[in-house]
Amino acid sequence: MTTNIPLPSTQIAQDKSAPKMRFLYPLAAICTAIVFLSPTTGDAQPSAKKLRPDQERAIELALAEVEPAMRPMAREQLATTFGQFSEAQIAMMVAQMKASATAAANTPPPAVEAETVATPEDLAFNKAQYEPVIRKHHAVQTKFDIFANAKIAAYCPSRDQYARFGSAWRYEQGQFVEPSALATWNVETNVTVAGEAYAPQDGRYRFDFSKVRMTFDEKKVDAAIKAVCDKVHAAGRDFLAKVDPVIAKQDWDNAFKLEQWAHGRLEPIRAELKAAYDKLSPGDFTEIQLALMNGTKVR
């Protein structure tokens, strides 16, 4: 625990460049006492160069919990602070320090569980569960990516369909590029990463992969993509209807503003398609990861 002994407001501020002192738990009781036992008019002690014996004993008790290299600085700081307290206040702080020390001494050390390491047989048992799931899931991810991207290409407009351009200018709605890329480039990497990063290494486990989606409905995916692309077409036609007369007037500033407006209209449509992907696709690796990290240990 790192802390600085608070000084009364009448003390000269310490140099910020001075090294900080590290105090252990018993000294925290002193800090607390200093905050709540600030001398009152009736019991404050006058500043004196020589400390009382009880103040000296309190300082020595506090210094026992200070790193040796910091004790000279701490002694000076404590002497300045403790010198302002009455005998009753010093007695209370000493009692708190002793109580803290006793409590710390009587606190048993935390139990350390022996680390267990899975045997090769345990790891093979675990892998026999997750490897087939990863491979099957990767295969359906790949199938979904190919299917969805083909539908995007078929239903959505190309980049030039809703654009106007000349020899030195171009204004366009922008291409609606939202490809699906669920499958990683190499399923072998998925298996290796799962075994090293997510699968437990301390024993034999059983995993619940029931939440991993292994199929998708092609008709629903087709309908969702077509509905989204229809909105892109409608937005594109609207853009051309507005930008054509502006371009005819060579009003390039407003043509640029209309282009930015058209770009912005595609964002909620992209969000709609992403939501459809999240609902209808096999999903990413998250459910496999969670299943591996929440397995039930059987040995």
Site of tokens 């040995």 = 299
pLDDT attached to residue 27: 54
Tens of pLDDT, residues 54-69: 888 888 888 888 888 8
**What distances in angstroms separate CA 46 from CA 9, 34, 82, one per listed residue?**
15, 17, 11
Higher pLDDT among residues 267 and 39, named by residue: 267
Query: Helix, strand, or coil here: 123?
Result: helix
Whether the predicted pLDDT of 139 surpasses 50 = yes
What single-letter DSSP state applies at residue 164?
E
Comparing 242 with 1, the larger pLDDT belongs to 242
- Label residue 274 by pLDDT band (50, 70, 90): very high
Query: What CA–CA distance (Å, rounded) separates 202 from 193?
Result: 17
What is d(CA 195, CA 139) in angstroms, rounded to the nearest whole number? Answer: 19
Mean pLDDT of 252-266: 96
Q: Find the angle CA(225)-CA(228)-CA(234) to the nearest 5 degrees.
A: 140
Q: What is the pLDDT of residue 86?
A: 87
Q: How far is the first Cα of the chain from the last one, in angstroms, to the nearest whole number?
A: 39
Position 255 pLDDT exceeds 50:
yes
Predicted confidence band of residue 19 (pLDDT cuts 50, 70, 90): very low
The 10s digit of each residue's pLDDT in 199-253 is 999 999 999 999 999 999 999 999 999 999 999 999 999 999 999 999 999 999 9
Tokens (6 digits) for 217: 């409905």
Q: What is the pLDDT of residue 28?
A: 44
Give the separation between CA 30 and CA 47, rounded to whole angstroms.
19
The yes-or-no verdict on residue 6 having pLDDT over 60 is no
- pLDDT tens string 80-103: 888 888 888 888 888 888 888 888
Give the pLDDT band of residue 8 (cuts 50, 70, 90). Answer: very low
Report how many helices (DSSP H) and strands (DSSP E) the chain contains, helices first: 9, 4
**Residues of the chain above pLDDT 90, percent:** 57
pLDDT at 39 over 70: no
Least confident of 4-18, 60-74, 155-169, 227-241: 4-18
Looking at every residue in the chain, the average pLDDT score rounds to 84
User: Residue 7: pLDDT above 50?
Assistant: no
20 near 4, Cβ under 8 Å? yes
